[in-house]
Amino acid sequence: MAAALGLALTCAAFWPGWASSDSLQQYLTATGRLRLDDVHPPLMAGLWHLTDAMVPGSGGLFLLFATAWWGGLAACAWALFERPWQRWLATALVGLWPAAFLLLAHVWKDVGMAAALLVAVAATLRWQGGGTRWSGAIALLALVAACGFRHNGVFAAWPLLVWLCWPGANAAARVRWRVGAVVLLSLVLVATPATIARLSGAARGDAWTVVALWDIGAISVAQDRMLMPASLVMPDLTVDELRAGYLPYANPPIFGSGKLLLSLFVPYTDAQRAALREAWWNAVRRHPRDYLAHRTALAWHLLLGYDAALPYQLVYVPERLVDIDTQPRLAPLPPDDLGARAARRLWTTPLFAGALYLALASFAIAGALRASRRAVRAPVFALSASAFGNALPLLAIAGSAEFRYLAWSVVAALLAVLAAWLAQQRRPVVLH
């Protein structure tokens, strides 16, 4: 009931879903207006193509993500908590938590990944509680889907995979078989994005190159000399032009001069990829302080939050897809939209600071270590590790300080801390 009410509220507040330029690019890909590539996940393009046939525009995919989100959350609450009020509280608190609820408004691959991981956690709880093999299969399929939504999804999925494979209430198995299963399935998760792209015929986009160029550009600005590989820049590109476009919290402006060759538009050769890797490594190795300063500036916003001087689009984008039958485009929400008004008040608060959720995950681990919480240690440890696994690699691989990257860390940390401190150990049934 709590999940049904949450889903109804989500649809009433945000239908047919908020969209950003990333969502627009994904929709154009899903409808065949742009070529399919591996930068915008082919899995999301395929799902959007199917939902668009039933509910044109963003509404179908928005409903799919919201349903999986609330359904997975309700199933997790049902398995983790015994008392009805605990289940209601956990479902409502996590689902309506401002930082999570605002992200759910958007048709983003980050929301799709979080929804898939919620389903994976719910199915794993069922599997570890003595469920059928179908529960384990659904959990594994959901983990694969999560990795298909984001290239870095494997970092969040891996702790949940270990939990899924480790001995539980099901048949006892030798440790070496469990370790072997973890290793084999880890390789499957790592290979998932490339495999889906290959099977779907998606063009190679080399998304990592944009981050590499941004890092090299930041170090070039700090050193006041060009460190970019010559094969990827126009001969007349200057450091001053890089400096004019460099922002510590987002990479797109540094490419504004049009003098950098981007793999998103022009495929790189093997020689160009090799030259970029070498230039990237040399820049970081020879100038570690400048690299760390650049990455620390990004981490500051991801972990400690945002101020009003920053673009609010780092947290939320109050726009919708319109004109889908002719020329799809983005249009702003009405000024009196309640969701947008609430977002304007909240996005600069500590609720949108990643460090809060890593602190909650740490607090959850501390709570699970108490003797009275042994029954919930496995899910709490797995959820907390997944929250950290999703967040910490972003400090090195993210191309901007967008809060949506932390969507799963928010949900996982909240679930973990509630399970660690609210759930009660089940009493054994005594038969007379």
Please state the pTM of the whole predicted model. 0.94
- 75 and 11, same structural domain? yes
- 229 and 191, same structural domain? no
HSE (side-chain half, CA atoms, 13 Å) at 173: 13
Query: In this predicted model, which residue has the larger pLDDT, 33 or 132?
Result: 33
Domain boundary among 304, 328, 357: 304
Rounded CA separation 246/251 (Å): 7
Per-residue pLDDT, 278: 97
The band of 31, judged by pLDDT with boundaries at 50, 70 and 90, is very high
Going 248 to 205 to 238 to 216, the CA torsion angle's sign is: positive
Quote the distance between the C-alpha of residue 219 and its chain's center: 27
pLDDT tens string 366-394:
999 886 677 789 999 999 999 999 999 99
Q: What is the DSSP string of 10-72?
A: HHHHHTT-B--HHHHHHHHHHTTSS--BSSS-HHHHHHHHHHHHHSTTTHHHHHHHHHHHHHH
Q: Work out the number of other CB atoms within 10 angstroms of the CB of residue 309.
A: 6
CA distances from 156 to 65, 110, 117, 317 (A): 18, 12, 8, 25
Q: What integer best gives the mean pLDDT of the chain? A: 93
- 407 and 276, same structural domain? no
pLDDT tens string 242-267:
999 999 999 999 998 899 999 988 89
Structural contact between residues 422 and 86, judged by C-beta atoms closer than 8 angstroms: yes
- 217 and 114, same structural domain? no
In a domain, 129, yes or no: yes
- 225 and 187, same structural domain? no
Beta bridge partners, 332, equal 319
- Mapped onto helix, strand or coil, the DSSP state of residue 421 is helix
Per-residue pLDDT, 427: 42
Give Cβ neighbours of residue 108 (< 8 Å, ≥ 6 apart): 20, 22, 23, 404, 407
In a domain, 326, yes or no: no
Is residue 175 scored above 80 in pLDDT? Answer: no
Domain boundary among 245, 274, 304: 304
pLDDT tens string 308-343:
999 999 999 999 999 998 999 999 999 889 999 999
- Whether the ω angle into residue 16 lies within 30 degrees of 0, i.e. cis, is yes
- 178 and 29, same structural domain? yes
- 72 and 186, same structural domain? yes
pLDDT tens string 97-117:
999 999 999 999 999 999 999
Give Cβ neighbours of residue 352 (< 8 Å, ≥ 6 apart): 99, 305, 306, 315, 346, 403
φ, ψ dihedrals at 332, nearest 5°: -70, 155
Rounded CA separation 168/379 (Å): 11
Give Cβ neighbours of residue 243 (< 8 Å, ≥ 6 apart): 221
- 55 and 194, same structural domain? yes
The encoded tokens of residue 336 equal: 């009196």
Domain enclosing residue 178, as ranges: 2-202+345-421
Domain boundary among 243, 272, 304: 304
The encoded tokens of residue 349 equal: 């608060």
pLDDT tens string 33-82:
999 998 899 999 999 999 999 999 999 999 999 999 999 999 999 999 99
- 265 and 193, same structural domain? no
pLDDT tens string 403-426:
999 999 999 999 999 999 887 544
In the 8-state DSSP scheme, what is residue 309? T
In a domain, 322, yes or no: no
- 196 and 179, same structural domain? yes
Domain count, the chain: 2
CB-based burial, 371-384: b 16+ in 10 Å, e otherwise: eebeebbbbbbbbb
Structural contact between residues 331 and 322, judged by C-beta atoms closer than 8 angstroms: yes
**Which residue has 């049009």 as its token pair?**
258
- Mapped onto helix, strand or coil, the DSSP state of residue 260 is strand
Structural contact between residues 398 and 298, judged by C-beta atoms closer than 8 angstroms: yes
In a domain, 427, yes or no: no
- 132 and 61, same structural domain? yes
In a domain, 126, yes or no: yes
Rounded CA separation 80/90 (Å): 9
- 143 and 12, same structural domain? yes
In a domain, 313, yes or no: no
The band of 195, judged by pLDDT with boundaries at 50, 70 and 90, is very high
